[in-house]
């Protein structure tokens, strides 16, 4: 099914739509088995993941007369236009109606008449040869009655591309630009992991703009890094600014603490690390951690590293501490339900005694985790030192940079809980 080739990656999602396309084009095979066509498909995903592109490929592949509905008119005019399109689709059946960005059909939280109109139109073609496909960013604003089986039998969730999908999409866009042949695409994929297709395309195009402005013959990896940091975090890690050397060193060791803890817990999980004078620094992951204790250790590792290196209590890690305490508190609530006084069957309030107990336990556990983080980092000080020095020198470390440093040290794996 060649029309789906325009959508890079998303093999599972494409396979589901290809199956429905096959039913639309070869009904006789399914009718012999008593199989009936699903009533509508709903494609959900955040903006920029390629929902409309996938839906459009479905329309083209089906070969049927297609109609696309988008919110471009005022309330009354829109509902009239919607009804008119469904009537037209019924006259030209078999046909398909695409409701693009259906969660934007209403302009008021209080008014749901547009959704009532959609529901009425879908019900009006029941038993007819009109297939309905819709795209939405999120379904929380749409009435459950419209989303139920019988109106949309299949729901397809499109996530931001990861892993192989991310690599293939990035390669597709890079092949259209003048990159240096030796550009490490694995580094690029891990750096951009978790971004939408639209964001990937934008960053790669911005890299080409940077290279063009510098009159370069080819786009270099540095241009990509610069474009990504500017687009995602609104700063340039390569700016020659008046950075206080002591401040830079403190930030470098703080971020190196986060980095090595993450890499010790899950090797290869660092997608990019950067430091800058005005934004501090950050470590971006290209893989997720599955356990809450690991997340807490990574959150506290920056504070732990700075205190081990400089010998004073690191006070500039409030957001990290808040994150760690929040995760520990969530863990306590998930595992302990005692102390809650129930007002009725649907609400509860926490007793003062339980609140005090939760805060006490959370504070004690945070201290335990901080001590554990210091133990792990103290056992891997060579790794910390090399990463911190590399950050001060380069400002940015990619996945391959981290791997090169890791290969020069011995990792001491202390139990990380």
- Whether the pLDDT of residue 34 is over 80: the answer is yes
270 plus 389 within the same structural domain: yes
227 plus 148 within the same structural domain: no
Q: Is residue 116 part of a domain?
A: yes
79 plus 151 within the same structural domain: yes
Could you give the CA distance from residue 295 to residue 247 in angstroms, rounded to a whole number? 26
Could you give the CA distance from residue 188 to residue 221 in angstroms, rounded to a whole number? 8
CA 386 distance to own-chain centroid? 30
Q: Is residue 181 part of a domain?
A: yes
Q: Is residue 411 part of a domain?
A: no
Cβ atoms of 414 and 373 closer than 8 Å: no
Domain count, the chain: 3
180 plus 257 within the same structural domain: no
At 33, which CATH number?
3.40.50.300
Q: What angle do CA 109, 113, 117 make, to 5 degrees?
A: 135
- Ramachandran region of residue 65, left (φ > 0), alpha (ψ -120 to 50) or beta? beta
Instruction: Output the pLDDT for position 231.
Output: 83
Of 146-160, 229-243, 284-298, 378-392, the poorest mean pLDDT is in 229-243
Q: Is residue 417 part of a domain?
A: no
Single out the residue in 189, 212, 233 at which a domain terminates: 233
95 plus 153 within the same structural domain: yes
Could you give the dihedral angle defined by the CA atoms of residues 87, 92, 94 and 98, in that order, rounded to the nearest 10 degrees?
-50
At 307, which CATH number?
1.20.58.760
- Whether the pLDDT of residue 79 is over 90: the answer is no
Neighbours of 136 (CB within 10 A): 23
pLDDT band at 353 (very low <50, low <70, confident <90, very high): confident
pLDDT band at 409 (very low <50, low <70, confident <90, very high): very high
- pLDDT digit string (tens) for 270-296? 999 998 755 678 999 999 999 999 999
Mean pLDDT of the chain: 88
144 plus 72 within the same structural domain: yes
261 plus 208 within the same structural domain: no
- pLDDT digit string (tens) for 251-262? 999 999 999 999
Could you give the CA distance from residue 349 to residue 211 in angstroms, rounded to a whole number? 58
Cβ atoms of 100 and 52 closer than 8 Å: yes
- pLDDT digit string (tens) for 102-132? 988 887 665 678 888 999 999 999 888 999 9
- Whether the pLDDT of residue 339 is over 50: the answer is no
Q: Is residue 107 part of a domain?
A: yes
Instruction: Output the pLDDT for position 233.
Output: 75
Neighbours of 109 (CB within 10 A): 7
136 plus 181 within the same structural domain: no
At 211, which CATH number?
1.10.8.60
Instruction: Output the pLDDT for position 319.
Output: 83
Single out the residue in 114, 132, 157 at which a domain terminates: 157
pLDDT band at 393 (very low <50, low <70, confident <90, very high): very high
Q: Is residue 90 part of a domain?
A: yes
Neighbours of 57 (CB within 10 A): 22
Exposed / middle / buried, residue 307 (Cβ in 10 Å: 0-12, 13-18, 19+): buried
**Segments forming the whole domain that contains residue 252:** 245-406
Single out the residue in 141, 157, 173 at which a domain terminates: 157
- For tokens 């209403």, name the residue: 106
Q: Is residue 240 part of a domain?
A: no
Instruction: Output the pLDDT for position 73.
Output: 67
249 plus 263 within the same structural domain: yes
Cis peptide before 278 (omega within 30 of 0): no
Q: Is residue 22 part of a domain?
A: yes
207 plus 290 within the same structural domain: no
Rounded to two decimals, the pTM is 0.82
Could you give the CA distance from residue 334 to residue 198 in angstroms, rounded to a whole number? 37
85 plus 105 within the same structural domain: yes
- Whether the pLDDT of residue 238 is over 90: the answer is no
217 plus 269 within the same structural domain: no
Q: Which of 360, 339, 357 is nearest to 348 (CA)?
A: 339
């Amino acid at each position: 099914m060649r029309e789906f080739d325009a959508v890079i990656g998303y093999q599972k999602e494409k396979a589901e739509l290809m199956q429905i396309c096959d039913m639309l084009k070869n009904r006789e095979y399914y009718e012999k088995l008593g199989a009936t066509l699903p009533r509508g498909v709903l494609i959900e995903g955040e903006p920029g993941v390629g929902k409309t592109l996938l839906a459009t490929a479905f329309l083209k592949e089906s070969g049927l007369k297609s109609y696309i509905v988008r919110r471009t008119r005022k309330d009354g005019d829109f509902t009239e236009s919607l009804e008119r399109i469904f009537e037209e689709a019924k006259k030209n059946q078999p046909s398909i109606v695409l409701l693009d960005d259906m969660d934007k059909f209403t302009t008021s939280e209080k008014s749901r008449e547009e959704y009532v109109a959609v529901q009425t139109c879908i019900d009006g073609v029941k038993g007819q040869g009109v297939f309905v496909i819709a795209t939405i960013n999120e379904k929380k604003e749409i009435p459950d009655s419209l989303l139920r089986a019988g109106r949309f039998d299949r729901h397809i969730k499109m996530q931001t591309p990861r892993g192989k999908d991310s690599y293939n999409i990035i390669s597709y866009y890079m092949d259209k630009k003048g990159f240096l042949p030796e550009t490490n695409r694995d580094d690029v994929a891990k750096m951009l992991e978790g971004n939408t297709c639209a964001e990937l395309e934008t960053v790669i195009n911005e890299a080409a703009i940077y290279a063009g402005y510098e009159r370069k013959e080819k786009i270099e990896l540095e241009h990509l890094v610069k474009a990504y940091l500017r687009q995602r975090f609104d700063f340039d890690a390569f700016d020659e600014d008046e950075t206080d050397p002591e401040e830079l060193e403190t930030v470098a060791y703080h971020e190196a603490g986060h980095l090595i803890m993450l890499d010790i817990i899950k090797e290869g999980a660092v997608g990019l690390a950067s430091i800058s004078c005005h934004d501090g620094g950050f470590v971006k992951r290209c893989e997720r951690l599955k356990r809450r204790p690991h997340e807490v250790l990574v959150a506290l590792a920056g504070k732990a590293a700075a205190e081990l290196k400089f010998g004073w209590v690191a006070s500039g890690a409030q957001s990290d501490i808040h994150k760690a305490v929040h995760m520990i508190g969530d863990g306590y609530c998930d595992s302990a339900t005692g102390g809650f006084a129930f007002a009725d069957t649907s609400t509860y309030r926490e007793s003062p005694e339980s609140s005090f107990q939760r805060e006490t336990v959370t504070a004690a556990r945070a201290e335990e985790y901080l001590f554990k983080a210091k133990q792990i980092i103290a056992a891997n000080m060579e790794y910390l030192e090399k990463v911190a020095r590399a950050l001060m020198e380069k400002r940015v470390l990619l996945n391959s940079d981290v791997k090169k440093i890791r290969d020069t040290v011995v990792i001491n794996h202390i139990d990380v809980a």
